[in-house]
Amino acid sequence: MLDVALVSLIEDMIEKAGADGVVEFWQRVGDALASRVGKEAYLGWTSFNVAVREGRTAFSIEGDVTPLTDMAITDVDGDVVGYLYAMKQCCYVPTVFRTRYSVGHMSAADQAVAQEYNETVHNIAVCNFCVFHERFREEIAKNVSVSGNPLVSYLLATRGWSGETKISSKNVAMVNINEEHMRALLRNYECVYALVMRGARLKGGR
Amino acid sequence: MAEANPFVEIATHLFLEDLASKVGVPGLNNYLVSLAKNLANGMPKEEYAAWHEFLSALTTGQSILSTFEEVRPVTEHCMSTPRSPFERGWREYAKRVGAFAPVHHEVAEYYNAKVRPIAVTSVHIVLHTFREAAAARIKVSGKGVRYEPIATAWVDGQVKMPPEDRLEPLLARAGISRTKLGMLLRNHADVWLVEAP
């Protein structure tokens, strides 16, 4: 119920603080949640990926995350420095449907916040919740280390409940993944991101 | 209806905490009341020809009052909710984030002092305000429906109910005894009253 009520809260907040104010609120909430979830350390990618699959990492708070272990990310020396991770279902999709079947329609406030984020921060949001959990993942990645290296998160692609897709050209280039490949992944997944060792010299790095 | 991802509820709790740091406890109370009213007012109105038709809609999840929770009638006017619609979110928050921020209890105390003494935590402000506003959108035999909470039991076992002098008339209108209420609160999240005065 609280999830559906959130939509009303966002409407209210837009009236008082504007869509840009809601984006700031969501980003602060992402920071706050990440700061309250403790640090984690893994010996290597194998142990981290097992922990992800078993739902034991901080990233698992979002729901079921699949490590795409066939999609390693390598650095300029060809060493594995990260992997792709994907969620079959966006965290917010059940709420969209719950809102549809309780209120009757989704509020325009949802898209107003997503649009504001796309125009001013990163053109990747398909709903207002993307604003929060992109920031959350970025912050939580700093608290998770693999082989002694903290991680960095790159949100690569999203698919909204209406089928609309977004691919982050800059992040896809960063981890050296083909956009066509990303489109293929979006047929099976609704949210795809990369976790990479912080400071790794990526092939597409700037 | 499909279940929500509890992560959205965790995020909402944190959103409320952030909001409280900006507007204080009274401000958060106002936001919670306002969002619950907006939610109910955004949902379609309902009308029923007779009370039994309304009860049937309640128990089958067809009424606005049973959209987010299972409702079991105890008598014609006394309803019970076996599980709080906020329980999953609370459990996930406790598991993944830790103890609830004190502001959730502080705002409940504010609501108890200013409105009515029935909230254990912040989400009960949403729940009771929503039910009250939702009931006002229902007509049975042409008459409006009125909601009143009788008792709330939170996941951790804390129970909140009106003082004895206000509880007795409520129980009489609901058609249950004090003992029956105690029995219900062992394994129910809420006991409440609906009537068409």
Could you report the predicted ipTM of this complex, rounded to two decimals?
0.82
Q: How near does any CA of chain B get to the CA of A92, in Å?
A: 7
- Would residue A179 count as lying in a domain? yes
Residue A194 sits at φ, ψ, to 5 deg, of: -115, 140
Q: In what order do the strands lie in the sheet with B143-144?
A: B46-48, B138-140, B143-144
Please tell me the total number of residues recorded for chain A in this structure. 206
A71: which residues sit within 8 A by CB, 6+ positions away? A83, A84, A177
Compute the radius of gyration of chain B from its Cα atoms: 16
pLDDT digits (tens, 9 = 90+) for B72-118: 999 999 999 999 999 988 988 898 888 889 999 999 999 999 999 99
Task: Out of B11, B43, B123, name the one closest to residue A102 (CB).
Answer: B43
Report the distance separating Cα A52 and Cα A101, nearest Å: 32
Chain-wide mean pLDDT for chain A?
A: 92
Quick check: A12 contacting B, CB < 8 Å? yes
Interchain pair B17, A32: CB under 8 A: yes
- Which pair of structure tokens corresponds to residue A167? 């691919």
Query: Is residue A99 a part of any domain in this protein?
Result: yes
pLDDT in tens, B105-157: 999 999 999 999 999 999 999 999 999 999 999 999 999 999 999 999 999 89
- pLDDT recorded at residue B115: 93
Give yes or no for A42 touching B (CB within 8 A). Answer: no
Q: Which residues pair with A87 in a beta bridge?
A: A191
Give the rounded distance of the alpha carbon of B71 from its chain centre. Answer: 11
d(CA A119, CA A55): 33
CB neighbour burial string for B120-138, b if at least 16 within 10 angstroms, e if fewer = bbbbbbbbbbbbbbbbbbb
How is residue A163 annotated by DSSP? S
Which of A52, A101, A12, A76 minimizes the C-alpha distance to A205?
A76
For the segment B165-181, the average pLDDT, to the nearest whole number, is: 95
What predicted TM-score, i.e. pTM, was given to this entire model? Answer: 0.87
Q: How far is CA A86 from the centre of its chain?
A: 9
| A61 has a chain B CB within 8 A of its CB | yes
Please say whether the beta carbons of A29 and B11 come within 8 A. yes
**Which pLDDT does position A206 carry in this prediction?**
53
Structure tokens at B158: 């804390």
Indicate yes or no: CB of B92 within 8 angstroms of CB of A9: no
Domain architecture of chain B: domains with CATH: 6-195 (3.30.1380)
Look at chain A and report how many structural domains it folds into: 1
For an interface test with B, which of A1, A23, A90, A136 has the most B Cβ atoms less than 10 Å from its Cβ? A1
Contacting A with CB below 8 Å, chain B residues are 1-5, 7-15, 17-19, 31, 34-36, 38-39, 42-44, 67-69, 85-86, 89, 92, 96-98, 123, 126-127, 130
Residue A28's CATH number: 3.30.1380
List, in order, residues 6 or more apart from B160 with CB less than 8 Å away: B112, B117, B118, B119, B120, B124, B151, B152, B154
Q: Show the domain range for A30.
A: 2-197
- The mean pLDDT of B54-65, rounded to a whole number, is 95
Spatial contact of B152 and B159, defined as CB atoms under 8 Å apart? yes
Q: Give the count of alpha carbons within 13 A of A191, CB side only.
A: 27
What tokens were used for B130? 């929503």
Encode pLDDT of A40-71 as tens digits: 999 999 999 999 999 999 999 898 999 999 99
Q: What is the pLDDT of residue A12?
A: 84
pLDDT of A11: 86
Q: How far is B14 from chain A (nearest CA, A)?
A: 6
- Over residues B18-34, the pLDDT tens digits come to 999 999 999 999 999 99
Closest partner residue to B14 (CB to CB) among A29, A63, A94 is: A29
Size of interface A-B (CB pairs under 8 A): 117
- Residues of B71-108 as b/e, b for ≥16 C-beta within 10 angstroms? beebeebbbbbeebbbebbbebbeebbeebbebbebbb
The angle at the Cα of A86, spanning A85 to A88, to the nearest 5 degrees, equals 160
Q: What is the pLDDT of residues A75-102, one digit of tens each?
A: 999 999 999 999 999 999 999 999 988 8
Q: Is A90 part of a structural domain of the chain? A: yes
Helix (H, G, I), strand (E, B) or coil at B143: strand
The Cα B48–Cα B26 span in angstroms is: 37
Provide the shortest C-alpha distance from residue A110 to chain B (in Å). Answer: 14
| Assigned domain for A206 exists | no
Overall average pLDDT of the A1-15 stretch: 87
Read off the amino acid at residue B196: A
At A117, the pLDDT band (50, 70, 90 cuts) reads very high
Percent of chain A with pLDDT over 70: 99
- Give domain status of residue A75, yes or no: yes
According to DSSP, residue B45 is labeled P
Closest alpha carbon to B171 in B46, B75, B102, B29: B75
- What integer pLDDT is reported at residue A158 of this predicted model? 96
The reply to whether A187 falls in a domain is yes
